[in-house]
Amino acid sequence: MGANDETGPETQALLNTRIRDLGLRIEGSAVEKYVEQLYRELGQKEITKFRPACYLTDEWGCPSGEPVIGIPFYLARPDLAEIEKQHNDLEDSREIMMYLRHEAGHAFNYAYKLHRTPEWKQVFGPYRRPYRENYRPVLFSKDYVRYLPGWYAQKHPDEDFAETFAVWLTPRSGWRKRYRGWQAMLKLRYVDRMLRHLRNIEPGRRRGRPDVTVAEMEMTVGEFYRHSTEQIPLLDVNLDSDLATMFRTHKKNSSAEAAEAFLARHRKSLVDQISSWTAMQRAPVRKLMDTIARRSAEMGLRIDRRKELEHLSEFTVFATTLVMNHLARSKSVHP
């Protein structure tokens, strides 16, 4: 949000406040119940000695080698969550638990130093393999579980383990049935066996060190969002003719609706699905959606609400094709 954005005095005051001065804590916040649920799920699996410490920071994460879990600070307060929702796609309860289970997988790996063992390396691959933000997954591969969007288990052996752990930990996931006949079952069985073996054993490393905590975040809330939304556009192309073809309903049509409103209504689900099936990171997909919505508004484009499903289907294919073409041509994507 810029200085000229139309916000109320309370929101503007919050945007001008340094994050470190907000006094954010997990205890007593909206986040606490999710951390407690994670601990309950570990207990239901009879894991008694592993309870990873959680802390508030700038994004989801588990610092490399550290058995701790970082949780985005904006989840700790409703007013911060509302600002996040305006800028990005605020996680719902299901997504929060998915991220927590995934990060718990990293933390367990580090707490028991499994990634240093020959068997872990044989099952998942070398931990020291280069970690690449942009990766080209093998779509529909049965060598990996599917949990977070974007074929995330294929990103790195460490992510493969964390994803496998998350599937194993998820209540009623039915992993034995769902992954029957998959090569990924070997990884799930490894996790199942190791977790049963280690469930009553103290971790080799009980405590970890967080990276950046909210107490160290000097930037204001407004500065955080100005920085986080400075994304490189996905494609530098002229979409006007394609948009005009898709959204061509006349304004006098009684069922006409602004294309911008239509895209806003479906924004989160579209970003979720496009990111999931293409493995493109969410930030540039959101940027593409915002660019298209803004241009649609400038052109005065509209949809016919009676044909909303048709519009949604056509636009999903269109946007996915843009992303796939970008990935195929981008020099930054590694094979």
Q: Which domain holds residue 307?
A: 231-329
In a shared domain, residues 207 and 243:
no
In a shared domain, residues 184 and 56:
yes
In a shared domain, residues 211 and 242:
no
CA 18 → CA 23, 28, 223, 224, distances in Å? Answer: 10, 21, 9, 9
Per-residue pLDDT tens digits for 52-66? 999 999 999 999 899
* Residue 333 pLDDT grade (very low, low, confident, very high; cuts 50, 70, 90): very low
Per-residue pLDDT tens digits for 225-274? 887 654 545 555 568 888 999 999 998 899 999 999 999 899 888 988 88
Residue 198 forms part of a structural domain: yes
In a shared domain, residues 155 and 18:
yes
Handedness of CA 282, 38, 49, 189 (dihedral sign): negative
In a shared domain, residues 49 and 148:
yes
185, 215, 245: which is the final residue of a domain?
215
How far apart, in whole angstroms, are the C-alpha atoms of residue 137 and residue 153?
A: 9
Higher local confidence (pLDDT), 88 or 266: 266
Residue 3 forms part of a structural domain: no
Residue 235 forms part of a structural domain: yes
Residue 221 forms part of a structural domain: no
Residue 42 forms part of a structural domain: yes
Residue 335 forms part of a structural domain: no
Query: How many structural domains is the chain composed of?
Result: 2
Rounded to 5 degrees, φ, ψ at 79 are: -70, -35
**171 is written with which tokens?**
């209540």
Q: What is the pLDDT of residue 160?
A: 97
The answer to whether residue 331 scores a pLDDT higher than 70 is no
Region 132-154: mean pLDDT is: 87
How far apart, in whole angstroms, are the C-alpha atoms of residue 187 and residue 120?
A: 9
Residue 278 forms part of a structural domain: yes
Helix/strand/coil (H/E/C) assignment for every residue in 173-230: CCHHHHCCCCCHHHHHHHHHHHHHHHCCCCCCCCCCCCCCCHHHCCCEHHHHHHHHCC
Per-residue pLDDT tens digits for 106-129? 999 999 999 999 999 999 999 988
The answer to whether residue 34 scores a pLDDT higher than 60 is yes
Q: What angle do CA 139, 114, 170 make, to 5 degrees?
A: 55
